[in-house]
Amino acid sequence: MTAPKGLAGGIVCSLITPFQPNQSIDYGAFGELIEHQIASGIHGLFVLGTAGEGLLLGPDERRAAAEFALEKVGGRVPLAVHCGAPDTHTAAALAAHASEGGADAVAVVSPFYFAYGPAALRQHFTDVAHACSAPVYLYDNPERVGYSLDFEMVHELVREVENIRGVKDTGDSVARVTRYGTFTDPPVEVYTGNNLIVLPALLMGALGSVSALASAFPELFVALYELWKKGEVDQATRVQLTAARLQAVLDGVPYVGGIKYLMHRRGLPSGGMRAPLPAVGGSAALIEARLEVLDESVTRWSDGAK
């Protein structure tokens, strides 16, 4: 088996997980979504993250979903498997499984619920990384876990642990991306998880974006990245603002449920939710009202999958 190389930059879709009414994973729909993403030109896939409701699944379910995704993708694009858990043992076991199965990368969200000091966090991430051979990306999501990772600690881990490559930063400030960009020897590979700052993050040295909204609009985010890559920053800015307007449609709405709703109205198989995460419910009317007042340059992205 070829050694995993990590993510390769660009737009990495944080893919939703579709569920059947009995709460089991709808693997038929999951496979369709993977094919749609690859056909749309996505640069990589990230499964079982926040959008993928991975932390609501048991370890056996997570292993089965990872195995399915790995087989379905078949190396056509880089695939990162989120293996984070509140305890080190589970996270390490999931990371080992994903790595052995051929995942190109492993992502590990910061441990949550209890408060942890720097020494405990360093040990957690180090132990998870040592459990696998795949490149590891720390998943910093302060809105979900209640705290942000320390910049210096992240850089120390990248420098000292061979297979820790970088960070998926889901903070709301491009200043965080800029701060990571100041580190050298070695550099920290940065992916923004914030749909509002994809272009600014790229301009400040991020390698790409891990985007949940790309589950609904992969073509939009791929277009943004490709325009930036060609140096067409003005046009890329217009696409970034379109993405921001679509993101604003989900303000105050159950976020994952809202993404699934946008996917459904595009004709994509989004499936149900894993309890207790709520579906969009009555907020669907609010989404429709917000879409109605947007101009055609924005709504054309939401009106059809083709």
User: Could you say which of 17, 88, 137, 168 is catalytic?
Assistant: 168
Strands 10-14, 189-192: pairing is unpaired
For 211, residues 6+ apart whose C-beta sits below 8 A from its C-beta are 11, 12, 13, 14, 193, 195, 198, 221
- Whether 113 is catalytic: yes
Alpha-carbon Rg for the chain, nearest whole angstrom, is: 18
User: Could you say which of 17, 50, 88, 192 is catalytic?
Assistant: 50
> Dihedral through CA 237, CA 173, CA 191, CA 261, nearest 10?
-70
| C-alpha torsion sign, points 302, 238, 253, 62 | positive
- Whether 168 is catalytic: yes
Contact 178, 150 (CB under 8 A): no
| C-alpha torsion sign, points 228, 233, 235, 236 | positive
User: Could you say which of 2, 113, 184, 306 is catalytic?
Assistant: 113
User: Could you say which of 72, 88, 137, 139 is catalytic?
Assistant: 139
Catalytic residues: 50, 113, 139, 168
